[in-house]
Amino acid sequence: MPVIEVGSLEKSYGDLKAVDGISFSVEKGEVFSLLGPNGAGKTTTIEVLEGLRERSGGEVRVLGLDPWKNGDEVHRNIGVIPQGFKFLDYPTPKEAIEYYATLFGKKVDAEELLRRVILEEAEGRYFMHLSGGQKQKLGMALSLVNDPQLVFLDEPTTGLDPQARRAVWEVIRKLRSEGRTVLLTTHYLEEAEELADKVAIMDHGKIVAMGTVDEIISQHGQGENMNVRGGKDLVGYLKENTKLHVDFDGNTLVTIHLRDKNDALVALGAIQESGANWGDLAVKRESLEDIFLSLVGTEGATGGT
Amino acid sequence: MFSFSRMFADLKVFGKGFVRSRVGLFFTLIFPIILILLFGAIFQGGNSGPVTIYVQNQDSGPAGQAFIAALNGTSALRVTAVPVDQNFTQYLSSHSSSDGVVIPAGFTNAYVADKAVNVTVYGNPASTTSAIVSGITSEIVNAFNLHGATGVHQVGVASRTAASKSFQYIDFLVPGLIGFSALTSPMFALVNITSAYKRDKIFKQLSLTPLTKTEWLVSKILWYTMMTTVSFVLMSATGIFLFGAHITYSWGIAMFLVVGPLLFVSLGMLVGTVSTSPESAAVVGNLITFPMMFLSGTFFPVSSMPAYLQNIAHVLPLFYMIDGLSNVMIYGNYGPALVDVGVLLVISLVTFALAVRFFRWRED
């Protein structure tokens, strides 16, 4: 049974459809990432799943339960870091963990938990004096106090410097290795690429692509590109003598879209035959970023808000 | 299900934060004492020796003389005689004073004949000197009555203003300021906390734990009950030891130290929770707090205010707090104090219920 099941979920605020009929499911032990620009509906989706918001339509099951109706039971079994995690000013990390432990009625080794989120160096300092990354890691520690099997991380690295971001990533990898299911929202592509088993790209309340990173690239990408340094004469020769798709940046970069392996051989032969000056040949696969920009970029151009 | 262990865990974290931030500690414990010191000193007249009192003796017999001698006999008063042909009120105002005693014509005759007669005391209720004058006059009147032929109360004190009792300004001030601090410190804190927690999504965060909003609110009420109690002890001790306030400690006071925070924590939370931002919450909080602070008898007795303001005062919860505290601490009037507690309790429970009702962990 999937840990999270979402079917045709809708959430409107007045006329605005923040989430517009999305469906996906998350299996046990998976890191599932909702990727999308700001305002795509990621946080609304995650808050509906956490039982913090009531949905307007569709079906949602978290750990087999309706998170809005069975909020208390769901909350006991999930861990959550809301976007822009903030906490009371004055507890130290250890006190905060002990506070949560009592609230959940759990026995927790606070120091061990701090080590697990790599925060032991910050112990003894008040929350308000922690750095952004340390605050975020304390948020993670708090979300783990009840030993949840499912953890929601809403943009856990937004606003952090690269070093702090990598530290948070390390914690997320640990969560995965412990067999926990993680739902992660982010607008950083590399974060989804680094961490996620499965990615759903959201834009304007809809899922525009979903699958593993490889699947998304092969479904939505145009395969591989051959980049060659060359001039107008090369481009002219290729266009005249082959059926290849050729782009030219007007300067020295010639891009040949490879639909299949044969295209590559044809391209190499044609380059050789052209007699033109060429060099720096490289074959590159389209990245998630290329696809993200082509999917979300065009959607964004036609969309309203 | 209400859980004490969760409530106490919240109380512990909140209390530690309160003590560590120091701001709350200052406004809850130190600031009210500064107010007592300030107002106590202002109205004490700086201990500048005996109070000058103007006395017009319209009586020609020995009893009138004896009364003046008695006034003179206290080191606290310096008696200045006013000629009988002067208009007494005009004489007082031309000498920039409001403290005076008029012994009526025929005082001796009435006293000897055991007939009721009044000595008139002039005074200003907001002035400590007036309180001293009326206090001493009352004592002398009592002595006269005891030494009279029958021991029956023939001599009375007729007062020309409301403050006829022998209480000092500090006696009004201490319960007033205790009520004041029981209002302001939880009210301002909760308005601020509630709206800031909402902004920072801390409530949302807490809603994901088993902590309930009732537990959260009860923990704040408990904390401010403790703070109000400590503040009460510090303030009343300052009043007694530095200014000689006449305060009676009794268990009746405890009722107010519990019901006050219950009311004002709930009220602060209600204001914070219905406001959309910390800024608007602060404005609404001030709109409620400031009129209440000045019209409920904190700095001046409500009875010295014009009738229409007194009517307003009677709908302000703080009035019942201060009135009740005064009844218990100064007058020992438990009957009226119970009425005050009853009124407060009803308002508190309604406010508490509204606060819990309108306060939402989650959004839709």
How far is residue A305's CA from residue A39's CA, in Å, rounded to a whole number? 8
Interface pTM, i.e. ipTM = 0.78
Query: Mutating which of A90, A128, A138, A150 best tests the B interface, going by the most B Cβ atoms within 10 A?
Result: A90
Q: How many CB pairs under 8 A join A and B?
A: 68
Residue A299 confidence (pLDDT): 45
Whether A90 sits inside 8 A of B21 (CB atoms) is yes
CB contact under 8 A, B20 and A126: yes
Q: Rounded mean pLDDT of B86-106?
A: 85
Distance CA A29, CA A198 (A): 11
Contact A95 B13 (CB under 8 A): yes
Confidence class of residue A197 from pLDDT cuts 50, 70 and 90? very high
Q: How confident is the model at residue B68 (pLDDT cuts 50, 70, 90)?
A: confident
Cβ-based contacts of A99 with chain B (< 8 Å): 9-10, 12-13
For the sheet containing A57-62, what is the strand order? A16-26, A4-13, A57-62
Q: CA B230, B236, B239, B244: dihedral to nearest 10 degrees?
A: -140
Q: Do B207 and A52 touch (CB under 8 A)?
A: yes
> Radius of gyration (Cα) for chain B, nearest Å?
25
SS (H, E, C) chain B: CCCHHHHHHHHHHHHHHHHHHCHHHHHHHHHHHHHHHHHHHHHHHHHCCCEEEEEEECCCCHHHHHHHHHHHHCCCEEEEECCCCCCHHHHHHHCCCCCEEEECCCHHHHHHCCCCEEEEEECCCCCHHHHHHHHHHHHHHHHHHHHCCCCCCCEEEEECCCCCCCCCHHHHHHHHHHHHHHHHHHHHHHHHHHHHHHHCCHHHHHHCCCCCHHHHHHHHHHHHHHHHHHHHHHHHHHHHHHHCCCCCCCCHHHHHHHHHHHHHHHHHHHHHHHCCCHHHHHHHHHHHHHHHHHHCCCCCCHHHCCHHHHHHHCCCHHHHHHHHHHHHHHHCCHHHHHHHHHHHHHHHHHHHHHHHHHCCCCCC
Mean pLDDT of B90-119: 84
**pLDDT tens by residue, B312-322:** 888 999 999 99
- pLDDT band at B158; cut points 50, 70, 90: low
Inter-chain touch B17–A88, beta carbons under 8 Å: yes
Cβ of B20 within 8 Å of Cβ of A87? The answer is no
Task: Give the C-alpha separation, A248 to B255, whole Å.
Answer: 86
- First-to-last alpha carbon distance for chain A, in angstroms, is 37
Checking if the pLDDT of A82 tops 80, the result is yes
Q: How far are the Cα atoms of B122, B131, B171, B276 from residue B53, in angstroms, in the given order?
A: 10, 12, 22, 58
Q: For residue A98, which residues of chain B lie inside 8 Å, CB to CB?
A: 9
Where is A63: in which H helix or E strand?
none
* Number of neighbours of residue B350 by Cβ within 10 angstroms: 12
Residues of A in contact with B200 (CB under 8 A): 86
Min distance A198 CA to chain B CA atoms (Å) = 26
Mutate to test the interface with A, among B195, B205, B219, B364 (most CBs of A within 10 A): B205
User: Are the beta carbons of B209 and A104 separated by less than 8 Å?
Assistant: yes
Nearest chain A Cα distance for residue B263, angstroms = 24
B12–A126 C-beta distance less than 8 A: no
Q: Min CA distance, A225 vs chain B (Å)?
A: 46
Cα(B301)–Cα(A220) distance, integer angstroms: 80
The residue whose two tokens read 């990408």 is A221
Of B228 and B69, more confident = B228
pLDDT one-digit tens code per residue, B161-213: 433 345 677 888 889 999 999 999 999 899 888 888 888 889 888 989 999 98
Chain A positions touching chain B (beta carbons under 8 Å)? 50-54, 71-72, 75-76, 78, 80, 82, 84-91, 95-96, 98-100, 102-105, 126
Q: In this predicted structure, which of A149-158, B45-54, B123-132, B248-257 has the lowest mean pLDDT? A: B45-54
Q: How far is A94 from chain B (nearest CA, A)?
A: 11
Instruction: Tell me the pLDDT tens digit for each residue of A113-154.
Output: 998 888 888 888 999 999 888 998 899 899 999 999 999 999
| A90–B16 CB contact, under 8 Å | yes
C-alpha dihedral (B244, B248, B249, B251), degrees to nearest 10: -160
Q: Which of A50, A72, A99, A147 to mutate to test the interface with B (most CBs of B within 10 A)?
A: A99
Tell me how close the Cα of B194 comes to any Cα of chain A, in angstroms: 12
Q: Pick from A71, A80, A90: which is nearest to B20 by CB?
A: A90
Distance from CA of A301 to the nearest CA of B (A): 30
What distance lies between CA B282 and its chain's CA centroid?
25
Q: Are A37 and A300 in contact (CB under 8 A)?
A: yes
- Asked if A94 and A123 touch (Cβ cutoff 8 Å), the reply is yes
Give residues with Cβ within 8 angstroms of A199, minimum separation 6.
Answer: A32, A33, A35, A192, A209, A210, A211, A212, A213, A216, A288
CA dist A285 and A219 (Å) reads 13
* Best CA proximity match to A26, nearest among A179, A230, A182: A182
